[in-house]
Structure 1
């Protein structure tokens, strides 16, 4: 059985790798080696290997035969597929969290106030951090571990693309309009309105990512011919 210290070390490595992708220090297609991160982070090779395995399962990294582990790069089609699922699950999180947040809205209202301030100040880093907290609030309040874990994995896959969107793109601040709509609907106990606003918010995020140049995306893989049935 894995002990607590070992789990903690693996989580530390996974967090360091995730942050490096989130901030653009590791880029899609970049090959990662166990030796490099063992030396850089001062941890065991087995901890790095396990962190690679976990982040591959989460969709942040990918492993290819003869090439090793690398930061995953999504195709445009994969991005659209991911956002279809993410939108449905974010709307479900709103439905599950709304009763509790309506009864005690102070945390959500304060978070929205901070988002508005970040937009006023043009503070993109702060806005990005608060956007993450906004979505996590609904996931956590929904109290559904499977929903939260799935949304976290979907978000992990998008970290680098989201970072590229944030670079020099003031139109990201426009997405705060849907934050405000969601918040207002939750306070008013309007589930339908809150779900619709969240879906619009996720769709706007998809459009921003799809507006990036083609070299940010992997080439789509040819579809396998499923029309033939072999014995």
Structure 2
């Protein structure tokens, strides 16, 4: 197998694991085996091993002696720390992207409309997809590769993937009002209000997660 093919295969396996966590098919604490993923995807165990290594570095997986690779479980304090960093970086992305998005808001407004439809249809998968694209747009338009890479790594950690399926659906949909406040501040050219709205939005997600029982967290 050539080097580019190997890189592509590792990326594909990493994406498959991330998607399985996002969809709730892999639960926090669940053990993963190289042989199982290699057989399921028709790839070498070395490619699976490298994908697991990358996801462990990103914080989605963990290596535990005598257990091997598992889906990582975070403590409540680690959740708070993660959301604090995420909120600060998302607010920065909003500030940096605001001039360009105010001048050309079409993509932003289209994603807002997608989330409107998903809420009206009670369609959580569609809402989650549009929500992820909404947040990714700010980092993309900010045109700061380091910021974008860091936010991507945080997104690939436990951040929201493992908890989206657990929190109350209505509360998740209710958070959509905060998306509208972010967009309104951007259209008004009010960077301070847009940043504050994003911080409030991210902290709202943290609070939803922290409402879950202790059994969902590491000791």
Deviation at 1:26, TM superposition (A): 0.8
Q: Distance in 1 between matches of 2:75 and 2:164?
A: 14
**Largest Rg, 1 or 2:** 1
Matched, 1:19 2:19: yes
Segments of 5+ residues of structure 2 without an aligned counterpart are: none
Q: Distance in 2 between matches of 1:80 and 1:60?
A: 16
Provide the residue aligned with 2:77 in structure 1: 77
**How is 1:81-230 mapped onto 2 (pairs within 5 angstroms)?**
81-156=81-156, 157-158=158-159, 159-165=161-167, 168-219=168-219
Name whichever of 18-27 and 115-124 sits farther off: 115-124
Name whichever of 132-141 and 154-163 sits farther off: 154-163
Q: Distance in 2 between matches of 1:14 and 1:175?
A: 29
CA RMSD of aligned residues (A): 1.2
Deviation at 1:115, TM superposition (A): 1.2
Q: Distance in 2 between matches of 1:145 and 1:68?
A: 33
Give TM-score, length-normalised by structure 2: 0.95
3-state SS of the aligned residue for 1:53? helix
For residues 78-112 of structure 1, the C-alpha deviation after alignment (integer angstroms, 9 at most, x for no partner) is 00011111110000000111111111111101111
| Stretches of 4+ aligned residues off by more than 4 angstroms | none
Q: Distance in 1 between matches of 2:39 and 2:107?
A: 41
Q: Distance in 2 between matches of 1:11 and 1:164?
A: 27
Segments of 5+ residues of structure 1 without an aligned counterpart are: 220-231
